[in-house]
C-alpha cells in the first residue's frame, strides 16, 4: 500500500516518517512549496524529525504540491490545521480545502482518515458528504472514512508515534477495521471506538481535561498572590498524596495548537445542541487572562524596585509556548510582550529555538548582554538548555513564571 499524507507539518511529517520507516512509500502532499522543497532536499522543518532521519528514508518519502499524486494511494490521511477565527469560532477552511483536494484524487476503495482536531460530527456531516458529492462514491461502499485523532506532543521523547495508543472511529465497522489495520503497521496499540464522533470527542476531552486543571492552578496562583502564600509549596505538598491528586503547575497561560483552541471547538458544538458548557468556558476565560496577571506581577516587581514599566528594559526569556521547542502558536509570551509594550516598556526577548518574531519586529537578543542590561528578566518559557543559576546571578531582578529558579534565591516567582 502507498500512503498519502495531506498536510505535512508537525503532525503529518512524523506520521509520514513512521510509515516510511516500516517500508511503505509515502506521498507527502502540501501546497507549501518551501516545505516540499526542503523535504525533497532532505532538510527537516520539524524539530522532532532530524535531517538524518529523512536521509535514511531516501525515496520512500515523495514530497509534492500536486494533489493528483494522491490518486495512487490506497490510504489518505488528512493532517491540516484547524485553528480559530478572530471571533474564537472553529475555522475549518483548511479542512474544506484539503477535502476538495482529496476528492480530485479519490479512487474506489480508498481509505480516508481525518486526524485534524475538530468538533464531533465533522467527519460524518462535512467530510463524508463533501467527498460523496464530488466523486459520486458512497462512503462505506465506494470509499472508507474514519477519524483518528493526532496525539503528537512536540518535544516529547518518552512517547512516540509507535508507543502512543491510537484511537480510531469509522463511519462503518468496515471503515474502522480498515483504519485499524492501517495504524497497526506503525502503532503498538490501536483502540477502536464505535463512531467517529466518539473519537472526535475523546481528543477534545484529553485537552480540555488539561485546560480545566491548568485553569484551576492558575486561579490558585492568583489567590496565593493575594494571600502571600507560595503556590509552588502548596502544590508540592498536595502532590505527596499518592492517590486522588494529579499534579498540574501554574504558568503564564496556555499556548500551542490544542489547549487554547479545543475548548472553543467543543463549546461551538455544544451551543448547536442548546447546551452551554459553562465550566469549560470559564476555564478558558481564566487561562486567557493569565498573561495579564503576569504583566501585573512584572509591574509590581518593578514598582517595588522604584521603577515604572515605561522606559524600563524588560527581557522576556522564552517566546515559544513550551520549553524545548520553537512553536510560538498561541504563545502567552507574545501576549505578555505586547502588553508590556503598550505600557511603554522597552521589551526584548531571548529564545534559543525562536530566532525572530516578525509579527513583533523582534529578533532573539544575545543572552549574556541582554540579561546584564535588563532592569527585569521575566522567565516565561523554561527552556532546559538555559543556565538559570547564571541568569539569577547576573540579572538585576528576575520574575519567574515557571518555578525553575525557586531554589536559587533572589527571584520573584508566580
First to last CA, the chain: 52
Q: H-helix or E-strand containing 299? A: helix 278-304
Distance of CA 257 to the CA centre of its chain: 3
Q: What are the grid coordinates assigned to 44, written together?
A: 527537516
Per the structure block, which three cell numbers stand in for 37?
522543497
Beta strand spans in 351-396 (E) = 356-357, 362-363, 376-379
The Cα–Cα gap between 280 and 300 comes to 31
C-alpha cell at 386: 538555559
Cell numbers standing for residue 265: 471547538
Residue carrying the nine cell digits 485546560 = 211
**Which of these, 399, 291, 401, 303, lies nearest to 338 by C-alpha position?**
291
Q: Which of 28, 187, 224, 258 is catalytic?
A: 258
Please name every residue paired with 113 in a beta bridge, in sequence order, or none if there are none. Answer: 77, 146
Exposure b/e, 333-370, CB count within 10 A at least 16 = b: bbbbbebbeebebbbbbbbebbeebeeeebebbebeeb
Three cell numbers written together for 69? 499524486
Angstrom distance (rounded) from CA 388 to CA 26: 43
CA atoms of 51 and 65, how far apart (whole Å): 21
3-state SS assignment for residue 406: coil
Annotation says 258 is catalytic: yes
Name the residues annotated as catalytic.
258
Amino acid at each position: 500500500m502507498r500512503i498519502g499524507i495531506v498536510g505535512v507539518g508537525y503532525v503529518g511529517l512524523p506520521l509520514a516518517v513512521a510509515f516510511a520507516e516500516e517500508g511503505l512509500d509515502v506521498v507527502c502532499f502540501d501546497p507549501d512549496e518551501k516545505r516540499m522543497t526542503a523535504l525533497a532536499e532532505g532538510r527537516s522543518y520539524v524539530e522532532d524529525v532530524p535531517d538524518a532521519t529523512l536521509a535514511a528514508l531516501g525515496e520512500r518519502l515523495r514530497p509534492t504540491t500536486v494533489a493528483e499524486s494522491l490518486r495512487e494511494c490506497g490510504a489518505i490521511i488528512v493532517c491540516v490545521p484547524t485553528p480559530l477565527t478572530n471571533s474564537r469560532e472553529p475555522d475549518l477552511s483548511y479542512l474544506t480545502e484539503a477535502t476538495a483536494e482529496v476528492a480530485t484524487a479519490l479512487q474506489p476503495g480508498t481509505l480516508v482518515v481525518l486526524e485534524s482536531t475538530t468538533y464531533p460530527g465533522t467527519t460524518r456531516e462535512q467530510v463524508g458528504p463533501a467527498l460523496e458529492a464530488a466523486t459520486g462514491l458512497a462512503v462505506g461502499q465506494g470509499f472508507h472514512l474514519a477519524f483518528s485523532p493526532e496525539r503528537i506532543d512536540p518535544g516529547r521523547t518518552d512517547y512516540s508515534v509507535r508507543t502512543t495508543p491510537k484511537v480510531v472511529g469509522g463511519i462503518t465497522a468496515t471503515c474502522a477495521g480498515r483504519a485499524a489495520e492501517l495504524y497497526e503497521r506503525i502503532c503498538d496499540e490501536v483502540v477502536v471506538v464505535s463512531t467517529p464522533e466518539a473519537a472526535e470527542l475523546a481528543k477534545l476531552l484529553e485537552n480540555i481535561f488539561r485546560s480545566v486543571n491548568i485553569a484551576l492552578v492558575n486561579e490558585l496562583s492568583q489567590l496565593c498572590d493575594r494571600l502571600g502564600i507560595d503556590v509552588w509549596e502548596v502544590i508540592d505538598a498536595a502532590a505527596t498524596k499518592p492517590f486522588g491528586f494529579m499534579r498540574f503547575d501554574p504558568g503564564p497561560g496556555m499556548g500551542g495548537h490544542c489547549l487554547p483552541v479545543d475548548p472553543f471547538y467543543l463549546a461551538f458544538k455544544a451551543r448547536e445542541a442548546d447546551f452551554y458548557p459553562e465550566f469549560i468556558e470559564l476555564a478558558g476565560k481564566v487561562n486567557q487572562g493569565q498573561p495579564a496577571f503576569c504583566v501585573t506581577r512584572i509591574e509590581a516587581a518593578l514598582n517595588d524596585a522604584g521603577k515604572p514599566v515605561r522606559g524600563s528594559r524588560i527581557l522576556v526569556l522564552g517566546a515559544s509556548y513550551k520549553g524545548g521547542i520553537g512553536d510560538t502558536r498561541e504563545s502567552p509570551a507574545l501576549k505578555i510582550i505586547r502588553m508590556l509594550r503598550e505600557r511603554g516598556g522597552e521589551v526584548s526577548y531571548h529564545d534559543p529555538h525562536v530566532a525572530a518574531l516578525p509579527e513583533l519586529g523582534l529578533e532573539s537578543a544575545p543572552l549574556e548582554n541582554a540579561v546584564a542590561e535588563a532592569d527585569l528578566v521575566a522567565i516565561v518559557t523554561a527552556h532546559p538548555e538555559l543556565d538559570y543559576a547564571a541568569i539569577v546571578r547576573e540579572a538585576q531582578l528576575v520574575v519567574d513564571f515557571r518555578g525553575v529558579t525557586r531554589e536559587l534565591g533572589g527571584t520573584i516567582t508566580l
